[in-house]
Structure formats: structure tokens, C-alpha cells
Structure 1
Amino acid sequence: MSCYNVMTVLTNSRIENVPEMQNVLTKSGCIIKTRLGIHDAGEDFCSNEGLIILQLIGSDKEILELEENLNKIPGVKARNNQVCSD
């Protein structure tokens, strides 16, 4: 049985939160296998709301620590989901 940890991180203050979020993500960089950032952007518009999707490979303790540290940042909501095959 294979299991995957996929964390979603939503921020409603993307521009203001970038330095603190990046610092937390950098400290946990060794457990982040894949990182995808999504926000509405256009020629005349750049949304302040953003979504980051992370595929994580660390221990349960490391993943929980990352989730807790991200959730300490005002305007950020992080949630890990473990998906396993049958």
C-alpha cells in the first residue's frame, strides 16, 4: 500500500505573508518533494489570495510541525491529507 501526504496551504494575504511563509517552507525544504503555487494573475491583476499544494515525504512529526508552523501565520490555513491506495 502506497501513501501520499498532500498539504494544501491557502492564504488570503499572499503578498503580506510571503516572507514568513517562505521562511517556514525553507526550513522544511527537505520534506517537500513537490510544490505548486496557484493564484489569479493577469496583465492588469494579481490576486492577494493564493493556494500552495505540497507533496511531503517526511515523518508524521515533521509534517505536523510544518502544518502547525504555517497555521501560526495570520491569514494562512494549512491542512495535510494522507491518501493511501488499497
Structure 2
Amino acid sequence: MKAVLVLIGDRLDSAVKVQEVLTKYGDYIRTRLGLNLELCENEKNSGFLFLEVCGELPVDQMCQELNSIGNVKAQCVELTL
């Protein structure tokens, strides 16, 4: 299973750019779960995305594009049994 974890420091500044990248790779995203952390103390306007990806997605390229956005950190994860 391949997954991409994305932490967004300030959704107000970064959300549109993140969405543009996700749209570009949308055919490869099977599951998308978004959590807003603003209810947690000291986490105003931040968010977390979990993406389950499939197919021959260039995962490293997508993570690199997400990491080029200010205040965004993406990490690609692959789990196997």
C-alpha cells in the first residue's frame, strides 16, 4: 500500500496550491482523508491529509511538488506485508 501524509501549517495560505497538486494527480488518489487541527491547542488553521494512492503514480514527484509549497510537509510511505 502506498500512502502520502501531508501536514499543512496554514491552510489559509496553502490550501489552493495543495489542491492544484492533488488535482494534477487525482487519477491516482483512491482515498483522501482531511483533518483540521484547529480544534487542538496551538494548531490554528493547520491541517493533515492522508492520501491512499494507487497505480503507477510517481509518488516521489507528487511529494516533491507538495514540499515545494511553503508551510507544507509531505511524506511518502509504502507499507508491505
TM-score bucket of the superposed structures, by smaller chain = 0.7 to 0.9
TM-score normalised according to structure 1 size: 0.83
- 1:67 is the counterpart of 2:63: yes
* Matching residue of 1:40: 37
User: Which consecutive unaligned segments of at least 5 residues does structure 1 have?
Assistant: none
The alpha carbon displacement at 1:72 in A equals 0.4
Pick the structure with greater CA Rg.
1
AA matched with 1:15: L
What is the CA distance between 1:41 and its match in structure 2?
5.1
Moved beyond 2 Å, runs of 4+ = none
What is the letter of the counterpart of residue 76 of structure 1? V
Q: Closer, same or farther in 2 for the Cα pair 1:66/1:58, shift >3 Å?
A: farther
Query: Structure 2 length as normaliser, TM-score?
Result: 0.87
> 1:21 aligned to 2:29?
no
Aligned partners of 2:27, 2:17: CA distance in 1, in Å?
Answer: 18
Shift of 1:13: 1.1
Number of residue pairs matched by the alignment: 78
Letter in 2 for 1:64: D
